[in-house]
Amino acid sequence: MGFLRRQVVIAALTANAIRPLPGFRVGIPSFFAGWLTGELAPQVLALTVADAAAHATGRRRDPLGLALAGASAAGLAFLIDQARRVGTEVEEALAEGVGVDYVEQLDHAPTPADLAVPWRKLVYPFRMRNDQVRVERDIAYDDHGKRGLLDIYLPAGRPPQGAPVLLQVHGGGWTIGKKEEQGIPLMQHLAAKGWVCVAINYRLAPRDPFPAQVIDVKQAIAWIREHIAAYGGNPDYIAITGGSAGGHLVSLAALTAGDRSWQPGFEDADTSVQCAVPHYGIYDFAGSTGIKSAILMRDRFLGPKVLGKRWESDPDAFEDASPILRITPDAPDFFVLHGSHDSLAHVDQARLFVEKLRRVSKRTVVYAELPGAQHAFDVFPSIRSSHIVRAIDRYLHWHWNTYRREHT
C-alpha cells in the first residue's frame, strides 16, 4: 500500500473514532474501527508520524498524503487528550454519586502517581501478565461442560482470608465469548491488592436460548456463596461486573436476586450481590424506552438469536429480560459506565437506566459517561481503561470498607 493510501485509511479511521458513522447497519464496523483506533491512539499516532517523517525525507513527496498525515496526527492527539481526561471525569462522577468525602473511607488516598497514566504498561497493550497474581483455572460450578467453568484470580503471595469477591461476566452478544478474554486488567489489578476475582463462562445462544445465560450467572453466585471461603474469599460480600452482554447479565442478576423461576434446582440459594458495576450494557430488551436502536436490536437480533422468539408472540419474555423494567427500591448499589460514542449499545439506554435507578432505588447510583468512548473500552490496557480500572478500584474499596463498617 502506498503512502497516500495508508494516510487515507488512517484519516478515515481517525475521523470515525472522533465521530462514529451513525446507523444500526454500520454499527459493528463503525465500532471495531473506532474502538481500536481510539484505544490505540498513541500507537497509531507514533506510526503515523514515523511514516510521514520517512516519506518526507524521500525523493518523491506526496503533499496530499502529508496533509492527511498532519490532519490524522491532530485528530489522534485529540483522542489521546480526551482519554487522559477520563480520570478527572470519573473522579467527579464518584464524588457526585457517593459523596465528595468518599476518599476518606479508602485505606489510602490516591496519590498523583496513582492517578497518572501508566505509559510504560501501555507500550505492549495486549501483553496482560501480572506476577503478583495467580489463577486457579477451569473449576466447574455447574454441569454444563466447558460453559460451566470458572477461573479464580488470587494474590500470588500470602493466601487471602475473608477477602472481598468480584464476579466478572464476559460479553459477546450472548452468543460468543470466553472467561479468559475480558475483564483481565481489572481482575489482575484487584487480585494484586488482595481481592478474590472470579471469571465465568456461561451457556451461549442460540444453542441455549435466554434465560440460560442469567441462570448460569445466578448459579455462579450460588457457587461462590458456598465455596469461595476455601479460596480465601468472603462469601457474604460479592460485587459483580461485566461489559456489553455481560453488563446486561450483571444488571439483570443484581436486580432479580431470589427470582425462583431463574434458579432451577437451586431455588433457595442466596443469589444477591452487594453492588454491580456494568459497563456499556444493554438495559432494554423490550424496546420499552422507544429508542429506535433498541427496537431494531430487539427485532433483528435479540428475538431471533438470543431469546429464540418474536416480540409479538411473547412480549413478557422480553420485558422480563430488560433490566430497566426490573428496578425496585431494593436494588443494590450501582456504578454504571458507558461511552458517549458507543455504536453497539446506544448511550441513551444507560442514561434512562440510571435515571430510573436514581428515582426508584434506595441505594447509591454512580454514573460515568465517558466522552468519545466506544464500546469495549476496558478490554485491554489503554489510557482510558487504566483510568477506569483505578476508578473502579476506588469505588469497590469504598464500598467494601463501608460494608464492613456497617456489618461490624
Query: Could you give the CA distance from residue 156 to residue 298 in angstroms, rounded to a whole number?
Result: 44
pLDDT at 125: 83
Distance (Å, whole) CA 107 – CA 165: 17
Where do runs of H (alpha helix) occur along 321-361? 347-360
The residue type at 44 = V
Where is average pLDDT lowest: 124-128, 257-261, 370-374? Answer: 124-128
pLDDT for 60 equals 82
What is the percentage of the chain residues whose pLDDT exceeds 90?
Answer: 88
352: closest CA among 382, 322, 378, 380? 322
Q: Is 232 helix (H, G, I), strand (E, B) or coil?
A: coil
**Range in 104-113, 131-140, 204-213 with the lowest mean pLDDT:** 104-113
Task: Determine how many CB atoms are found less than 10 A away from the CB of residue 66.
Answer: 17
Dihedral of the alpha carbons of 188, 189, 194, 196, in degrees to the nearest 10? -40
Strand partners, 219: none
Q: Which residue has the cell 497493550?
A: 125
Rounded to two decimals, what is the model's pTM?
Answer: 0.96
Per-residue exposure over 74-95, b if at least 16 CB sit within 10 Å of its own CB, e if not: ebbeebbebbebbbeebbebbe
Structural contact between residues 370 and 338, judged by C-beta atoms closer than 8 angstroms: yes
Active site residues: 244, 342, 375
For residue 376, what pLDDT is reported?
A: 95
Cα distances from 138 to residues 145, 194, 333, in angstroms, run 10, 21, 30
Q: In the numeric block, which cell numbers belong to residue 109?
A: 488516598
Q: pLDDT: is 340 or 157 the higher one?
A: 340
Q: What is the DSSP string of 392-408?
A: HHHHHHHHHHHHHHHT-
Summarised one tens digit per residue, pLDDT across range 55-108 is 998 878 899 999 999 999 999 999 999 999 999 999 999 999 999 999 998 988
Q: What percent of the chain has pLDDT over 70?
A: 100
pLDDT at residue number 296: 96
Residue 304: is the preceding peptide bond cis (ω within 30°)?
no
Q: Are 41 and 79 in contact (CB under 8 A)?
A: yes
Assess whether pLDDT exceeds 70 at residue 1: no
Section 343-371 average pLDDT? 97
Over the stretch 146-191, which tens digit does the pLDDT of each residue have?
999 999 999 998 889 999 999 999 999 999 999 999 999 999 999 9
pLDDT at 400 over 90: yes
In the numeric block, which cell numbers belong to residue 280?
Answer: 456499556
Q: What is the pLDDT of residue 313?
A: 97
Three cell numbers at 7?
Answer: 494516510
Whole-angstrom Cα distance, residue 65 to residue 62?
5
